[in-house]
Amino acid sequence: MSKGLLASLATWFAGAGLLLGHAPAARAQEIDAPVVAGGPNEADAGDNSRVWASGEYLLWWFKHSPEPVPLVATAPLGPGSLILLGGQNVHTDEHSGGRFTLGLWLDCDQTLGVDAGYFFLGQRTTTIPGLFPPDSLTARVPWTAPSGVHVAPLILTGPRAGGTVVSGEELRVSQSLQGWETNGLLNVMRGNGYQLDLLLGGNYLDLQEGVAFATAVAGAGRLAGLAVNTLDQFSARNQFYGGQLGGQGEARLGNLFVNAKATVALGDVHENVGIGGATAIAGAPAGVLTNGVFPGSGIFALPTNGGVHKTDRFAVVPEATVKVGYQVASWARAYVGYSFLYLSDAQRPGDQISGTINGGQIPSFALHPGLAGTAAPLYPDKHSDFWAQGLDFGLEFRY
């Protein structure tokens, strides 16, 4: 009996060992990878694009063109005379142009980026004719100061006479502006519907302006056959090279957004002023004027101030832009904006016209033109400032 009990126990332990040896392994628990919060697209639900490009139509206005020297006035010259051309600022018409921008975030977190932009405002020319009283002819009568130097040798209009001249005068002002910028971008703040970036880069501006004063004279009566044409040209080109620092930010509410950008650039402005004149005389009676072509001599542009004058000066260029727009698609949006640009130092061509002139150099005034006595006019080397402002209409595409 005892042998049977032992056999039964042995059989039970053997079965237990068999069961233990083949027990199934416990199933490992499956753990999902942790979710990392943050990144550019969680706080800001809208934009995970890394490349953007925009094109804009610009409608801008420039600061007036200064023309401080009277060019044409009624006779006799004095408190009662009427200035018919010059002597006041010229307000030019609006300028049309374009602006193009391309940008790229360098990392997926949209922390570091670069952008570049170019804009232009095409040349616009404003023409102002002399406004002469009816029933009058003109005669070239320079006003001579007690010192013997002609001050503002105006073309004066007087009553009709039997043997004088018929003349016409015209002032033309032309302007254009272009520039480019490149920037590195650093995102410093981003949230649900807003972001703020700092930028550091370079800025270039190219302002070109010109003033031309033209006269045409035809003899009448005893001076029939006389033809005198003069041209005075004053041009100025201001090229700014500098580094800039600024910021840009954007706020979004649904599909609406507001974007603002402001920069300040510091650098050098290279100023190049050109002064030149010409006179052509034909049919002049002997002893009155000398017939021929006189390059380099007009009325206000003469050998004593003519040529090319260059200078470099320190300048500051602040610029600001505000845009309001609508997200028309996930990859496109449209906007309208306002821009303002300022150049702290510039040479304007009208400021370089001097009203103090030695009339002996003027072929249309002197029988034998040449410098004798005081050297005038001289190059004034006047400096001013310049601004441009206007409306922007644009489309932006993102990828």
At 133 the pLDDT is 56
Pairing type for strands 155-159 and 70-74 reads: parallel
Stronger pLDDT, 45 or 371, i.e. the higher one: 371
pLDDT at residue 153 is higher than 70: no
What sections of the chain are H helices per DSSP? 2-21, 40-43
At 17 the pLDDT is 44
Comparing 143-152, 287-296, 321-330, 364-373, which segment has the lowest mean pLDDT?
Answer: 143-152
Spatial distance between the Cα atoms of 299 and 167, rounded to a whole number of angstroms: 15
At 287 the pLDDT is 82
Provide mean pLDDT across the span 138-154.
Answer: 51
At 35 the pLDDT is 42
Q: Mean pLDDT over all residues of the chain?
A: 83
Stronger pLDDT, 47 or 270, i.e. the higher one: 270
At 78 the pLDDT is 59
pLDDT at residue 353 is higher than 60: yes
Spatial distance between the Cα atoms of 152 and 132, rounded to a whole number of angstroms: 18
Residues 232-280: pLDDT tens digits? 999 999 999 999 999 999 999 999 999 999 999 999 999 999 999 999 9
pLDDT at residue 43 is higher than 60: no
Give the largest CA-CA distance in the chain. Answer: 168
Domains contained in the chain, CATH given: 51-398 (2.40.128.90)
pLDDT at residue 307 is higher than 90: yes
pLDDT at residue 12 is higher than 80: no
pLDDT at residue 140 is higher than 80: no
At 166 the pLDDT is 63
At 70 the pLDDT is 81
The residues facing 175 across adjacent strands are 124, 209
pLDDT range class, residue 76, cuts 50, 70, 90: low
Provide mean pLDDT across the span 216-232.
Answer: 84
State the CB neighbour count (10 A cutoff) for residue 322: 16
Spatial distance between the Cα atoms of 337 and 391, rounded to a whole number of angstroms: 6
Stronger pLDDT, 4 or 149, i.e. the higher one: 149
pTM: 0.82
